[in-house]
Amino acid sequence: MADSEMEMDGGPSGAGAPAEGESTLGMLDVLLFSIIAGLLIFWAVFRKKKEEIPEFKKIPTQAITPRETSFIEKMKKTGKNIVVFYGSQTGTAEEFANRLSKDAQRYGMRGTVADPEEYDMSELSRLSEIDNSIAVFCMATYGEGDPTDNAQDFYDWLQEADDDLSGVNFTVFGLGNKTYEHYNAMGKYVDKRLQQLGAKRIFDLGMGDDDGNLEEDFVSWREQFWPAVCEHFGVEATGDESSIRQYELVVHTDINMNKVYTGEMGRLKSFETQKMPFDAKNPFLGTVTANRKLNKGGSRHLMHLELDISASKIRYDSGDHVAVYPINDTTLVNKIGEILNVDLDTVISLNNLDEESNKKHPFPCPTSYRTALTHYLDITNPPRTNVLYELSQYATDPKDQETLRKMASSATEGKSHYQTWVLEAKRNILAVLQDMPSLRPPIDHLCELLPRLQARYYSIASSSKVHSNSVHICAVVVEYETKTGRTNKGVATNWLKNKVPTDNGHKSMVPLFVRKSQFRLPFKASTPVIMIGPGTGIAPFVGFIQERAWLKQQGKEVGETVLYYGCRHRNEDFLYQEELEQFEKDGVLTQLNVAFSRDQAEKVYVQHLLKKNKENLWKLIHTDNAHIYICGDARNMARDVQNTFYEIASELGSMTHTQAVDYVKKLMTKGRYSQDVWS
């Protein structure tokens, strides 16, 4: 419109100039008059259209746009004064956040749960606009002291922020694991940084240890947190300990089955019509092209799988992780249906009672109970105390009701009973129902309470330089007998074990996505590498060695490639033996050191071989700037290996123990000592 108006303003004077001095109406005048008249009509029509546009485009949804990123406006609109943010990789921090939000009601307050990824966190400074408000942060630490994926943007903002958070009340509960080097790093950082920015900590930082009893740590912290909140704001607990439902059940008796979720993570029918890009909310269906048993003997089943990703445009680097979405054992699912006497094929929706919540359902809805229990809910891990507490109301035997409530309390006797009866006995929800015949909850409430079934992460056992169209997995099938005589099976590994390339003429498919890692080969191929990975910890190093072989084939100068591997018996579980020995023969693997822990009277582990070769190792590390990589068990192996490096640095570098520890820590800081470990 601006251009048209400029033409209108300039038209008469500019176009009329050549006609100046003529006394009669000539052809040129007629022509000019016609042009001006035409422009006037054009302008009138154009202007009319402009006036109609706002009326036509007035769409009601425009008014709620700020809700998408403003948690403050949302809290004001819904009368909430507690916001619980979570940084969660496996769902536990999100679960804890939900529990704290539900608690608020018992203290005359109103809570909401928020994913920091979905909101503008710079609005935190505005929280003081809401009376008696508090921000709670349930923050898990992932990998080597990193934030979880959904908290990465929040972490980046905290690092750069210079906002004034005075007047903002906060508290933090961190979720970590003491076997890791950077225990609860994210929780500690958020707690410290918020205080630096002027926010007021109204209760001490809580730290949960997943290597110990994370649930007990959280419950103990929570029991002290709420009285501190009451004291700070001058409020009292309402005394209402009754169950508070978060979702309402809707049963669909007449629904188009094309509108029903059958296991998809996000978009309906996403497994039928796959669309890029692929991620946690939109996994790619990879085809299983190989599934072979790696070990030659022994009672365990160690396997190698290959998944075709050629149609996905997924790119990965050696050291990255592949995440797969498993499904639960149908036998367990059917038994839950039988014991609760329900038709599992009933199609339902669980709709959030808080209509303003971004989380409309606990899992994709509408769906059937069968799909929910098979694809969406965790039915194999021991239930947490809040689940037992909520379910206790349905126990018809008063003794069972009391037992369940006591296990969910902070009483020493109750905590001890939960530890032995649930955790140590590895009772899952089915076992709890079987061993408490009076407990028969409605299945919809059970589905509301159970946590989501999470993706399982595996270190990729291949290099994309060699295998650009596939990702490889190396895993051990988990199966064990519990103290109650039941056989518990690992969800993902048992499911993967049965994924054969062709199953009755059908291709076996695995929903997957790739997660980037910091576990990376050195930038220069000539830099020596020392890899330590017993058992399935060999996985990323298969990829590393494949890549070093490829680089050598390209004519690059490749530095020393040293592997320390460990297994039980040479003739039973020496994984990838033929491949590794061939790499050694070809000169790609300059050293292949293998510890067979049970082939002799005294057990020999990788750390023993490290000590044996200490002079060579020290030269590689101290003189040749080698990079060290450790993959496998965090609780024992990684710790023992690290202590061995302290000893080597102390002895051959003539250092005190403190100096040796500092030396190894500096290697970590420089990215020369990397760990990909699990507990």
Q: At what angle do helices 657-669 and 639-652 cross, to 10 degrees?
A: 120
Active-site pick, 459, 462, 463, 464: 459
Cα–Cα dist 478/426, whole Å: 14
Burial letters for 213-239: b for 16+ Cβ neighbours within 10 Å, e otherwise? bbbbbbbebbeebbeebeeebeeeeee
* Three-class HEC string of 129-156: HCCCCEEEEEEEEECCCEECHHHHHHHH
- Catalytic residue at 365? no
The neighbour count for residue 163, using CB atoms within 10 Å, is: 18
Question: Which two three-digit tokens encode residue 159?
Answer: 């690092």
Cα–Cα dist 406/412, whole Å: 9
Question: Which two three-digit tokens encode residue 278?
Answer: 């692929």
The CA radius of gyration of the chain, in Å to the nearest whole number, is: 32
Cα–Cα dist 530/630, whole Å: 9
> Which class for 547: exposed (0-12), middle (13-18), buried (19 or more C-beta within 10 A)?
buried
Distance of CA 240 to CAs 38, 104, 112, Å?
77, 11, 19
- Catalytic residue at 678? yes
Closest CA to 322 of 465, 467, 473, 452: 473
Active-site pick, 221, 631, 633, 674: 631
Question: How far, rounded to the nearest angstrom, does the alpha carbon of residue 371 sit from its chain's CA centroid?
Answer: 22
- Catalytic residue at 468? no
Cα–Cα dist 173/202, whole Å: 12
- Catalytic residue at 631? yes
Distance of CA 491 to CAs 252, 327, 456, 506, Å?
30, 7, 9, 22
629 and 522 Cβ atoms separated by less than 8 Å: no
Q: What are the contacts of 654-658 at 24+ separation with CB within 8 A?
A: none
Phi, psi (degrees; rounded to nearest 5) at 97: -60, -40
Helix or strand holding residue 596 (H, E): strand 591-596
Cα–Cα dist 290/306, whole Å: 5
Query: What are the start-end ranges of the H helices in 613-670?
Result: 614-618, 639-652, 657-669
Cα–Cα dist 444/365, whole Å: 13
Question: Which two three-digit tokens encode residue 37?
Answer: 């008249």
Cα–Cα dist 617/564, whole Å: 11
Strands 502-503 and 487-489: unpaired
> Which class for 506: exposed (0-12), middle (13-18), buried (19 or more C-beta within 10 A)?
exposed
Q: So which residues are the catalytic ones?
A: 459, 631, 676, 678
